[in-house]
Structure 1
Amino acid sequence: MRLVRHPVLCNYYVTYRCNAKCSFCDIWEKPSPYITLADVEQNLRDLKRLGVRVIDFTGGEPLLHRQLPEFLALARQLGFITTVTTNGLLYPKNAQKLRGLVDMLHFSLDSADRATHDLGRGVACYDFVLESIRVAKELGERPDILFTVFRKNLADLEAVYRDITQPNGLMLIINPAFDYGEVETGEQLTEEELTYLSAFGKRRGVYLNEGFIALRRDGGNHVAAPVCRAASTTLVISPSNELVLPCYHLGEQKFPIGGQLFDLYNAPATQRLAALEGRLPQCEGCTINCYMQPSFAVETSKYFWEALPSTLKYNWEKGTWKRLLRA
């Protein structure tokens, strides 16, 4: 049964540019402009009309955009929940400007070993993550550590939890890696490794969406009976001010917004493409977390019930449930 019939999340790409070169991502390879404040102001108002509650200002590296604090402040004024994920390279020098503007601030860290983390990110950023944690805590922020899990770094999870997140009172978010397009992340996690992750996710101060585990055990999205609701739950806006459908990773079509996001999203041509969510040939086997998470939340499938306890746990521990109720 469908519980919510309007989009709840916007993945707003402020730029595709990045100051890292992660081996499991190809966004940084793309040429890109930066979004403009005028477009953001209009689009946020239309997103509010459409029922969106959460704005993820993303990239690329979102902190490369010098007006990010202005975007966040505007989103907060309009009542949105805000989220930003950063590699930490630019956070220490921008932390004061961002203070109090990000509800869910994530620092990416994939190992407790400097060399291992920096190798995967293609740039020396480990020390910047640790410095970002220190600065954020001094400012009274409550950042999370986002750990992208591969088979090759699964053994590092324990040390990150023991030596970094727990001593600093941070939430550890476990983000299972996923393949898309021509980007491959190595061998898929085995049943034994999924079971290990599931048990780890039940620890205090750890968040793992159990729906991700269930979906991987089921072989991902299946076009014959899709669980993906990417286009109806999530709006993707490109740095060129385009609506991207059905999701960023497929990007079948890009529609220039031109100040008309509300009408564009509801237009027949847009909705016909949105209706193909999870049903395109490329959707078979998909496990992309950023679209599955909102998909699980809007209808009562088995994945809804799998995801619910961990989602409630995160929002309770972070206190974001209060902001969600006011959104």
Structure 2
Amino acid sequence: MRLISHPILCNYYVTYRCNAKCGFCDIWERPSPYITLKEAEQNLIDLKKLGVKIIDFTGGEPLLHRDLDKLLGLAKEHGFITTVTTNTLLYPKHASKLQGKIDMLHFSLDSPNKEKHDLSRGVACFDFVMDSIKTAIELNERPDIIFTVFEENVSEIEELYWKICLPNNLLLILNPVFEYNDVQTGSKLSEQTLNTIKDWGKRKNVYLNGAFIELRKNGGNQISDPVCKAASSTIVISPENKLVLPCYHLGIDEIPIQGRLYELYHSPEIQHLISMEGRHDGCQGCTINCYMQPSFAVELNRYWWMALPSTLKYNRLKGTWKKLLPF
């Protein structure tokens, strides 16, 4: 049963450019412009009309956009919940002008070991994460640590949790790695690893969407009966100011927005593409977290119930639950 019929999230790619070279991501290989303030302002107005609650300013590395603080300011003026994930290479430099504008600030950290994390990210950024944590706390910000879980680093959660997260009262977000396109992400997460991170999700100051685990155990999205609602729950906007469907990672269609996002979204062409969500050949077995998270939120099924405890936990800890209410 569908609970929410309108999109709730916008993944707004401010640029595809990145100053890291993560081995499990290929976005940094793409040439890219930067979004403009003028186009963003009109899109934010239309996103509000469409019912979107959350704007994820993403990339690439979003802090490469010199006007990210202004983009965040516009989003806050329109009443959106804002989220940014960064490798932190630029955070200490820009932290003061971003202060108070990001509701969900995520610092990527995949190991408590400097050499291992830097190797994973393809650039020396571990020290920047440590500096960014200190800077953010001094500014009374509440960053989260987002830990991408691989088969090879699951054993390092314990050390990172006790040495970095708890002493700084930071929320640890466990992000199971996912496969897409031809990107190599290492060994598939074993059932033992899935059970291990599921248990971690019960700990204090740890967030793990339990539905992510169940979906993987069930073989991911099935095109014959799709759980994925990416196209209808999430709006994806590219740095070229195009509407990307059904999602960024599959990216079958990119339609120029041209200042008419609201009308475009309701056009027969787009509504047909939305009706095909989760049913394309490339959707078979998909477990991409950033699209499954909103998918679990809009339709009442077993995954909705499995996602509910962690969703309530996170929004209670972050204080964002009131902003997500429908009234």
Q: TM-score, normalised by structure 2?
A: 0.99
SS in 1 for 2:153: helix
Structure 2: which amino acid aligns with 1:8?
A: I
Q: What residue number does 1:21 align with?
A: 21
How far apart are the structure 1 equivalents of 2:221 and 2:80?
29
- Post-superposition CA distance 1:72-99 (Å, at most 9, x none): 0010010000000000000001000000
Report the alpha carbon displacement of residue 103 of structure 1 after superposing the two structures with TM. 0.1
Mark the CA change 1:58 to 1:315 in structure 2 (over 3 Å): closer, same or farther: same
Report the alpha carbon displacement of residue 194 of structure 1 after superposing the two structures with TM. 0.9
How far apart are the structure 2 equivalents of 1:290 and 1:301?
18
The 5 Å alignment of 1:155-304 reads 155-304=155-304
SS in 1 for 2:166: helix
How far apart are the structure 2 equivalents of 1:164 and 1:209?
21
What are structure 1's unaligned runs of at least 5 residues? none
The 5 Å alignment of 1:74-85 reads 74-85=74-85
How far apart are the structure 2 equivalents of 1:87 and 1:222?
33
Q: Is the 8 A contact 1:79 1:326 kept in 2?
A: no
Structure 2: which amino acid aligns with 1:145?
A: I
1:116 pairs with 2:119:
no
SS in 1 for 2:152: helix
- Post-superposition CA distance 1:137-158 (Å, at most 9, x none): 0000000000000001111111
Report the alpha carbon displacement of residue 192 of structure 1 after superposing the two structures with TM. 1.3
Report the alpha carbon displacement of residue 326 of structure 1 after superposing the two structures with TM. 8.1
Pairs aligned (count): 327
SS in 1 for 2:160: helix
Q: What residue number does 1:138 align with?
A: 138
Q: What residue number does 1:107 align with?
A: 107
Report the alpha carbon displacement of residue 251 of structure 1 after superposing the two structures with TM. 0.5
- Post-superposition CA distance 1:119-144 (Å, at most 9, x none): 00000000000100000000000000
Report the alpha carbon displacement of residue 186 of structure 1 after superposing the two structures with TM. 1.4
Structure 2: which amino acid aligns with 1:116?
A: K
How far apart are the structure 2 equivalents of 1:184 and 1:283?
18
Q: What RMSD in Å do the two structures reach over aligned CA positions?
A: 0.8
How far apart are the structure 1 equivalents of 2:45 and 2:68?
17
How far apart are the structure 1 equivalents of 2:325 and 2:307?
19
1:5 pairs with 2:39:
no
Structure 2: which amino acid aligns with 1:269?
A: E
Structure 2: which amino acid aligns with 1:307?
A: A
How far apart are the structure 1 equivalents of 2:5 and 2:57?
23
SS in 2 for 1:151: coil
How far apart are the structure 2 equivalents of 1:146 and 1:209?
13
Q: TM-score, normalised by structure 1?
A: 0.99
SS in 1 for 2:57: strand
- Post-superposition CA distance 1:150-190 (Å, at most 9, x none): 00111111111010000000000000000000112111111
Q: Is the 8 A contact 1:111 1:160 kept in 2?
A: yes
1:319 pairs with 2:319:
yes
What are structure 2's unaligned runs of at least 5 residues? none
Q: What residue number does 1:44 align with?
A: 44
Q: What residue number does 1:148 align with?
A: 148
Report the alpha carbon displacement of residue 247 of structure 1 after superposing the two structures with TM. 0.3
How far apart are the structure 1 equivalents of 2:326 and 2:111?
36
SS in 1 for 2:180: coil
Q: What residue number does 1:97 align with?
A: 97
Q: Is the 8 A contact 1:92 1:132 kept in 2?
A: yes
Runs of at least 4 residues of structure 1 off by over 3 A? none
Report the alpha carbon displacement of residue 322 of structure 1 after superposing the two structures with TM. 2.7
Report the alpha carbon displacement of residue 193 of structure 1 after superposing the two structures with TM. 1.2
Report the alpha carbon displacement of residue 323 of structure 1 after superposing the two structures with TM. 2.8
How far apart are the structure 2 equivalents of 1:216 and 1:88?
30
Percent identity over paired residues: 64
Structure 1: which amino acid aligns with 2:258?
A: G
